[in-house]
Amino acid sequence: MRDRILSIIEKNSRIDLKELAIRLGAEEIDVANELAKLEQEGVICGYHTLINWEKTDIEKVTALIEVKVTPQRGQGFDRIAARIYNYPEVRDVYLISGGFDLLVTLEEKSLKEIAQFVSEKLSTLDSILSTGTHFILKKYKDHGTIIDEKTEDEREVITP
Amino acid sequence: MTKPLSTKVENIKPSGIRKFFDLVSEMKDAISLGVGEPDFDTPWHIRDEGIYALEKGKTFYTSNSGLKALRVEISNYQKRTQGIDYDPMSEILVTVGGSEAIDIGLRALVNSGDEVIIPQPSYVSYLPCAILAGANPIVINLKEENNFKLTEEELLSAITDRTKLLILPFPNNPTGAILEKDDLEKIARICIEKDIYVMSDEIYSALTYKGEHISIASIEGMKERTILINGFSKAYAMTGWRLGYACGPSKIIKQMTKIHQFAIMCAPTTSQYAAIEALKNGDDDVTMMREAYNERRRFLMDEFKNMNLKCFEPFGAFYVFPCIKEFGMTSEEFAMKFLEEGRVAVVPGSAFGESGEGYLRISYAYSIENLKIAMERLKKFVDKLRN
C-alpha cells in the first residue's frame, strides 16, 4: 500500500483521503494511519505545488549553478553544503558526481539578483574553488510533468 | 450494375455501435465513456523503437509469419507468463491485430455448416467472422448470476455432433468477466471429451485484477486444440499499431499462415520492431497501467454502490457492465436518453449480443477526473429516472 500511496500523492498531493482509500481498495483509517506514519518517518517531506510561472505576471529566473569546492577534513562536503543551503533563496543543493561537486538551484526575480548572490555570497565562501552559472530559458518538463502538454483526447468517441 | 453483391455479406448486420457513434460525434460537450482502447499513449521507449526502425529504413515486408526475433519474444512471453512452449518457427503467427487472427483462425478451422459456439455478450466480430467463414454460429447467452462466466451446463447444452469450435473470450469485453483456474478446467475437460477446438481470445490477459490470467492452453491436453490469440493493443496501449498474434498447433498455424500470406502478406514492419521492445522491456509499463485501471475500477464500483446501481464486480479488461433493468428501458433507449440529457456516451450492452440487453458497457480507459464528472452526471440522471 505504501508504494501506491506514494506514487499517487507524488502526482496529486491534494487527493482526498476518501478517494485515495477507494482507489486503493483499502479502509480510510488505514490509509490515514499510513500517511501519518510516512510523515512522521520523514518519507513525506512536504506537499508542494508545481507552478508554471510563465503563465503569471510574476517574474522568475531560475539558475543552475555548478560549484567546485575543496572538501574539508572530517566533514567532507556536508559543512560547505550547509553553508549554502541555509540561504533561504537557495532551492536545491545536490552533491553530484563528475566534473564538479555541488549543483545549486536558485530562483529569483531577476538576473541581477542571481548574479549578486553568486558573486557576493556564494563565491566568497571559503573552500569554494569555482562556480558556473546556467540560466534556464524554458522549462519543457518539470517534476515529471510536461509543461503545456496538450491533453486533448484524440481517440474515436466510441469503439467496440 | 445490376448483379447482386455477396448475399452472405449483405445479410450481415452492421455494428450496432455505428449509429451511436455518429450521434456522439455531433455533441461537442458530451463526455464519452465509450471507447474500447487505452487512454495511455504507447510508452515512449516502444514508440522510439518504431521511430528507430523507420530511421534505419526498415520499411520492407517481413516474412509472412512475422519477424523471427518477434516470434521468439512472443514465445518467451507465453513461456514466462503461461508456462506454455510455442515453437517460434512453426507455432506462432504475427497478425494485423487480434482481429485478423480471429478471422483467419475461423476460416482455417471451419467447414461449411460446422457449428461454432460463441458466448455472448462478447466482442462484436466473432459472429460475423464465423458466418463469413461459413460456420453456423451457436450463441450461448451468459448470465449475470454466474458473473458472466461460461458454465459447464451452458457449454454442454450447446454442444452437438456438428460442434467444431468454442470461442472463449476472457477476460471479456464488454462484461469484464474473467475465468479462473477451476472454471477453465471444467471447460477444458468438456472440450477434450467432446473433441472440440478452442479459440481463446486473450487480448486483455495483461489486465486482470484478481490473480494472474490463466490461459486455457496451459491446461493439459489443451495446447493441441487451442488457438491462443493475443496482441499488443490493450496491454501496451498500441491499438493504432495494429499488431496481434496467434499461437497454436503447427497444423493450424500452417493453414492460417496461408490465408494471411495471400490476404495480408505480413503485419506492419514498424509495429513489429516496436513490439519486440514492448515484450523485452515493457513489463513495468503494463504494471503501471494495470494499477491505474484497477484504481478506476474500484472507484466506479464504489460510485455504483453509492447510487444503488446493480453491477457485478468485474476483474478483467477495462469495462464495467452495470445493470439498468430497473428503469424499464432497453439499453439502447437508456444510452440514448443518457446521452441527450446527461451528455455522457456509453455503449448499450445489446451491441454485444442479445444477452447484453439491460446492461451498459462503461469503459474506464479514462482519467479519474473524467470519470468523476461522468459519474456525477450518471447519478443525477439515475436519480431523476427513479423519481
Q: How far is CA B263 from CA B8, B256, B297, in A?
A: 19, 11, 39
Q: Which domain holds residue A14?
A: 2-40
The CATH number covering residue B291 comes to: 3.90.1150.10
Average pLDDT of chain B to the nearest whole number: 96
pLDDT averaged over every residue in chain A? 93
Domain end marker among B259, B280, B301: B280
Pairing of strands B360-363, B319-320: antiparallel
The partner residue sitting opposite B17, judged by closest CB among A23, A155, A158, is A158
Closest to B123 (Cα-Cα) out of B165, B175, B183: B175
- Tell me, what CATH number does A102's domain have? 3.30.70.920
Cell digits for A54? 510563465
Pick among A31, A158, A159 to test the B interface (most B CBs inside 10 A): A158
The verdict on residue A143 lying in a domain is: no
Cβ–Cβ gap A19/B17 under 8 Å: no
pLDDT band at B83 (very low <50, low <70, confident <90, very high): very high
A5 close to A20: Cβ distance less than 8 angstroms: yes
Looking at beta carbons, which residues of chain B come within 8 Å of A157?
Answer: 21, 24-25, 30, 32, 34-35, 345
Distance from CA of A118 to the nearest CA of B (A): 38
Residues A108 and A131 both lie in one domain: yes
Confidence of residue B86 (pLDDT cuts 50, 70, 90): very high
Whole-number percent of chain B with pLDDT over 70: 100
How far is B233 from B268, CA to CA, in rounded Å?
A: 14
Q: Contacts of residue A19 in chain B, CB cutoff 8 Å?
A: 299, 368
- The yes-or-no verdict on residue A45 having pLDDT over 90 is yes
How much is the average pLDDT of A77-103? 94
CB spacing of B34 vs A157 below 8 angstroms: yes
Q: Is residue B48 part of a domain?
A: no
Give the model's pLDDT for residue B341. Answer: 95
- Does residue A15 fall inside a structural domain? yes
Residues B312 and B218 reside in one and the same domain = no
The H or E element containing residue B184 is: helix B181-194
CB within 8 Å of B264: residues ≥ 6 apart: B95, B96, B100
Residue A2, C-alpha cell as written in the block: 505504501
Query: Are B243 and B294 contained in the same domain?
Result: no
- What's the pLDDT tens digit per position in B339-375? 999 999 999 999 999 999 999 999 999 999 999 999 9
Domain assignment of residue B18, given as a range: 7-42+284-386
Contact B295, B207 (CB under 8 A): no
Q: What is the pLDDT of residue B385?
A: 96
Q: How far is CA B264 from the centre of its chain?
A: 21
**What percent of chain A lies above the pLDDT cut of 90?**
82
Here the ipTM equals 0.85
Q: How far apart are CA A78 and CA A80, in angstroms?
A: 6
Which residue of B99, B285, B297, B302 to mutate against A (max A Cβ within 10 Å)?
B302
Contacts of B323 (CB under 8 A, 6+ apart): B144, B309, B310, B311, B358, B359
**How many Å apart are CA B342 and CA B33, to the nearest integer?**
12
Structurally, chain B folds into a number of domains equal to: 2
Q: Enumerate chain A positions whose Cβ falls within 8 A of a Cβ in B.
A: 4, 8, 19, 22-25, 153, 155-160
Residue B22: pLDDT over 90: no
